[in-house]
A and B are shown apart, each in its own frame.
Chain A
């Protein structure tokens, strides 16, 4: 079990990474037993597979011109599904933008995600997800919001944690450091998860920082910090679960560096061959989180995963339905531009809206 002793034995200054299974799905420690039941292990595998399938489909919808720019999640699924297994309805989720599986677990629908990348603000209503924040485009800016929510949780005496996500590139922004400092000073129940996928668009980690890892950045703020194998769902789950317990017991923030790899492009507009090698991609393909979990399941005979075609076909159907629902979402109206700027629309905005309406009556918008 992951406990304080385990945490202490992974001092970021030692630059060791906490993992449970190796690339072939074999436990690194013979005495280790997963903290998940076989049922939950299989469920997490299916959720990772679903996330991956949805992600592939999203890229293909984009390629068909049915969606605008989309940031693939490929290779980072273990972090998302582990988070999804731990996060509760009452917990806050403060995302960046590349956490698909965790969004779904929080109750966001695929329809909403597709609608967002089709370019409609309605997507961020999150009809069935409580305490879920929308995409934060300005990198790392969301982390200070998380610290503020954490303060409110303490103040209101709510036993809930705040899950705040950022990428490796985001750790260079001032907001990252300010958020860690505030959360630490306020003992705020914030779990900072840095998805270190090795790149910020084209910029590799070694040009982003000279720190030996990213977890080490938490130490200066006196925040318990750990470098975790982000492609190992067991390790991720244990650490996140521990972090949440600490947070709701009043022990303040934690910083988790989840080491992973962005196996896809930065977004559908990006071409990674310009700035990284095939060798590097192959090296990480061997550490694919889905492949590793599948190997574990097969090694331990938890299930026969040799033929997943039927399952994937079923997922695809479901995903297509969600996409159709996004396409059938009510058309964007002129009012939608104005209505949500203020609770009560000021006269000046009404005037501007009327001007546009008059033009549309007379001159017309295509």
Chain B
């Protein structure tokens, strides 16, 4: 075991897979010499060589499109989109080809690529540096989408993503990159994609969240505990496929559910989760399944972020409304 933050855990997962599997390569803007603007790939070029970990020219569409080419030709590329907002130029390749190549060729070609995207707000950044675009990917048939909330999960999920025969969007909650330190095994281990995790068992209400919102929910749960409320917390971890079993079991038990996402509301992940709750646990519900999400607005620049980002107090406010319902 070694104490790691999420940056180190992701770096460690990449290091292990680069060492073990010669078909793995990693590239993107500033990924090589600089080790990424968040230092996630730090030291990897030095250790694994410039043919395996390298800087690409500045062009996200080409970064994604070349990853498809590499993948169908036998490599396992891990590409980095420098920030969430810069995956947009790559959407054409991701939505039109990467997600569809297996189906288009009836399984003759598959795209075992990992697209890493640091995402989310709360870091006082410029525009296009604070987005939560997971719904676009979850909505795209053919992609898998994962978001860890801890260093331990980040390492295990990334190893699964690299080993996965299909394209995986691996979103990294940059706001908590260095905020959480945890004991992480030094050896290789994997966490299955498509499995949620119950972080806290409870009786009165289920909260489903993921990524950086987990920490905010946990802070709210401290407030809830002071009021003797018993809350169950599910870390979704996998945005697609979604773990119906864990959701069903939990909501059938508690009868109340609150979904918390930083992503904007309309047609977002919370809407999908509420549909699943209705399909799986309708007769157990004692209150309307509720969502607390980002507004349907552009995420504001730093001075306005306090009106957008979801605080523990806001979560507590919704918890109390639901319990009282």
Of the candidates B57, B126, B298, the one whose C-beta lies within 8 Å of that of A209 is B57
Chain B 291-325, CB-CB to A under 8 Å as 1, else 0, gives 00001111011111111100101101100000000
Chain B residues in 8 Å Cβ range of A185? none
Chain A residues in 8 Å Cβ range of B129? 137
Of the candidates B58, B303, B313, the one whose C-beta lies within 8 Å of that of A169 is B58
Query: CB of B266 within 8 A of chain A?
Result: yes
Query: CB of B128 within 8 A of chain A?
Result: yes
Chain B residues in 8 Å Cβ range of A366? 306, 311
A203-228 at interface with B (beta carbon < 8 Å) = 203, 207-209
Chain A 57-76, CB-CB to B under 8 Å as 1, else 0, gives 00000000000110000000
The answer to whether A336 touches B304 (Cβ under 8 A) is yes
The answer to whether A208 touches B58 (Cβ under 8 A) is yes
Chain A residues in 8 Å Cβ range of B301? 116, 119-121
B152-205 at interface with A (beta carbon < 8 Å) = none
The answer to whether A200 touches B29 (Cβ under 8 A) is yes
B255-273 at interface with A (beta carbon < 8 Å) = 265-266
The answer to whether A203 touches B30 (Cβ under 8 A) is yes
Chain A residues in 8 Å Cβ range of B241? none
Query: CB of B55 within 8 A of chain A?
Result: yes
The answer to whether B265 touches A352 (Cβ under 8 A) is yes
The answer to whether B59 touches A121 (Cβ under 8 A) is no
The answer to whether B124 touches A174 (Cβ under 8 A) is no
The answer to whether A352 touches B295 (Cβ under 8 A) is yes
The answer to whether B297 touches A338 (Cβ under 8 A) is yes
The answer to whether B297 touches A68 (Cβ under 8 A) is no
Q: A203-B30, A363-B316 are in contact. Are A173 and B124 (CB under 8 A)?
A: no
The answer to whether A200 touches B58 (Cβ under 8 A) is yes
The answer to whether A348 touches B266 (Cβ under 8 A) is yes
How many whole Å from A100's CB to the nearest CB in chain B? 16
Chain B residues in 8 Å Cβ range of A336? 300, 304, 307
The answer to whether A141 touches B126 (Cβ under 8 A) is no
The answer to whether B59 touches A172 (Cβ under 8 A) is yes
The answer to whether A363 touches B314 (Cβ under 8 A) is yes
The answer to whether B33 touches A275 (Cβ under 8 A) is yes
The answer to whether A201 touches B126 (Cβ under 8 A) is no
Q: A137-B129, A200-B29, A202-B30 are in contact. Are A173 and B58 (CB under 8 A)?
A: yes
Bound CA–CA A98/B86 (angstroms): 19
Chain B residues in 8 Å Cβ range of A174? 59, 61-62, 89
The answer to whether B126 touches A363 (Cβ under 8 A) is no
The answer to whether A349 touches B296 (Cβ under 8 A) is yes
Bound CA–CA A174/B125 (angstroms): 25
Query: CB of A156 within 8 A of chain B?
Result: no
Chain A 329-366, CB-CB to B under 8 Å as 1, else 0, gives 00010101110010000001100110010010011111
Chain B residues in 8 Å Cβ range of A170? 58
Bound CA–CA A172/B224 (angstroms): 52
Bound CA–CA A175/B224 (angstroms): 50
A147-180 at interface with B (beta carbon < 8 Å) = 169-170, 172-175
Chain A residues in 8 Å Cβ range of B89? 138, 141, 173-175
Query: CB of B85 within 8 A of chain A?
Result: yes
How many whole Å from B22's CB to the nearest CB in chain A? 23
Q: Which residue of A lies closest to B264 (CB)?
A: A352
Q: A69-B126, A200-B29, A341-B298 are in contact. Are A120 and B58 (CB under 8 A)?
A: no
Of the candidates B57, B86, B307, B313, the one whose C-beta lies within 8 Å of that of A337 is B307
Chain B residues in 8 Å Cβ range of A364? 313
Of the candidates B57, B127, B306, B316, the one whose C-beta lies within 8 Å of that of A207 is B57
Chain A residues in 8 Å Cβ range of B55? 202-203, 207
The answer to whether B86 touches A138 (Cβ under 8 A) is yes
A127-142 at interface with B (beta carbon < 8 Å) = 135, 137-139, 141
Bound CA–CA A151/B88 (angstroms): 25
The answer to whether A201 touches B307 (Cβ under 8 A) is no
The answer to whether A349 touches B302 (Cβ under 8 A) is no
User: Which among A269, A341, A363 has the greatest number of chain B C-beta atoms within 10 A?
Assistant: A363
Chain A 109-124, CB-CB to B under 8 Å as 1, else 0, gives 0000000101111000
Bound CA–CA A243/B302 (angstroms): 39
How many whole Å from A336's CB to the nearest CB in chain B? 6
Q: Which residue of A lies closest to B313 (CB)?
A: A363
Query: CB of A301 within 8 A of chain B?
Result: no
Q: A201-B34, A337-B307 are in contact. Are A69 and B125 (CB under 8 A)?
A: yes
A247-298 at interface with B (beta carbon < 8 Å) = 269-270, 274-275
User: Which among A68, A173, A202 has the greatest number of chain B C-beta atoms within 10 A?
Assistant: A202
Other A-B contacts than A68-B126, A356-B307, 7 sampled, CB-CB below 8 A, are A137-B126, A138-B89, A174-B62, A201-B29, A202-B55, A207-B57, A365-B307
Q: What are 13 of the A-B contact pairs (CB < 8 Å)? A: A69-B126, A116-B301, A118-B302, A137-B128, A172-B57, A202-B34, A208-B58, A209-B57, A275-B33, A337-B297, A337-B304, A349-B296, A352-B295
Residues of B within 8 A of A (CB): 29-30, 33-34, 37, 55, 57-59, 61-62, 85-86, 88-89, 124-129, 265-266, 295-298, 300-308, 311, 313-314, 316-317
The 7 closest A-B pairs by CB, nearest first: A119-B302, A202-B34, A172-B57, A119-B301, A169-B58, A332-B303, A363-B317
